[in-house]
Amino acid sequence: DAKTTQPPSMDCAEGRAANLPCNHSTISGNEYVYWYRQIHSQGPQYIIHGLKNNETNEMASLIITEDRKSSTLILPHATLRDTAVYYCIVRVVGASGGSYIPTFGRGTSLIVHP
Amino acid sequence: DTAVSQTPKYLVTQMGNDKSIKCEQNLGHDTMYWYKQDSKKFLKIMFSYNNKELIINETVPNRFSPKSPDKAHLNLHINSLELGDSAVYFCASSQRQGNEKLFFGSGTQLSVL
């Protein structure tokens, strides 16, 4: 599985867009990019995923570069409740899962301040 | 209704004791997982079961024994608890093996004294 690199921490003003980058330069053509977040004292929560097209849902937008070597998770209007650790994961979907290990890295700690 | 529920939320116990953590999912998923998150917040997978069968065991001491009576339940029993077992344990499920959309429980904070 391709590895990911994320900045350890970021901060953002409430009401502004939070743009969280993720590098996955070794990603292969059939690997998806998944994003999760973990709010303090809670279990991780799925946010969004994509392959090569940009994706948007009620929580966030995912922008994947044309070469797919990096992506950005965008929280369009960050609130204090968006303060969390954000994890970027890449993986082939639907592959034989016998050896698949859903692995979380260190993620990015996002602090949204008033 | 909570999709993935685990009990208890907090567990405080003495070294050497045996304890269990229960997990249930009502999503109809085939695959369930146990993760351990230590004090440094690193989230590490321990086990995965698919349709009641063990598919992942990530070099976890054999004091840890998962049990899956049916595909909706994955319980974790820990024998002879040690100080280093103190952590937050998260249960998760996914629709099928290899599906990355994981649904997590709210965690069990285990403190071994």
Question: Among A98-102, B10-14, B68-72, B83-87, which stretch is predicted with the lowest mean pLDDT?
Answer: A98-102
When pLDDT is averaged across residues B53-58 and rounded to a whole number, the result is 80
When pLDDT is averaged across residues B46-75 and rounded to a whole number, the result is 88
Q: What is the DSSP letter of B15?
A: T
pLDDT of residue A95: 47
When pLDDT is averaged across residues B36-48 and rounded to a whole number, the result is 88
When pLDDT is averaged across residues B40-46 and rounded to a whole number, the result is 87
Written as six digits, the tokens of B107 are 């965690």
When pLDDT is averaged across residues B52-64 and rounded to a whole number, the result is 84
Q: Phi, psi at residue B83, to the nearest 5°?
A: -55, -40
Q: Phi, psi at residue A90, to the nearest 5°?
A: -120, 145
Per-residue pLDDT of chain A (114 residues; tens, 9 = 90+): 568 999 999 999 999 999 999 999 988 888 889 999 999 889 999 999 999 989 999 999 999 999 999 999 999 999 999 999 999 988 765 544 445 667 788 899 999 999
Contact A42 B107 (CB under 8 A): yes
pLDDT of residue A105: 86
- B64-67 β-sheet, strand order: B4-7, B19-25, B75-78, B64-67
Query: Helix, strand, or coil here: A82?
Result: helix
Q: What's the CA gap between A59 and B35, in Å, rounded?
A: 25
When pLDDT is averaged across residues B13-19 and rounded to a whole number, the result is 97
Which residues of A make CB contacts under 8 Å with B? Answer: 32, 34, 36, 38, 41-46, 49, 85, 89, 91-98, 100-104, 106
pLDDT of residue A104: 85
Q: Would you say residue B83 has pLDDT above 90?
A: yes
Q: Is A62 exposed, middle or buried (0-12, 13-18, 19+ CB in 10 A)?
A: buried
Q: B51 contacts in A (CB within 8 Å)?
A: none
Q: Is A44 exposed, middle or buried (0-12, 13-18, 19+ CB in 10 A)?
A: buried
When pLDDT is averaged across residues B45-62 and rounded to a whole number, the result is 84
Query: Helix, strand, or coil here: A99?
Result: helix
Among chain A residues, CA nearest to B105: A43
pLDDT of residue B33: 92
Under 8 Å CB pairs connecting chains A and B tally to 63
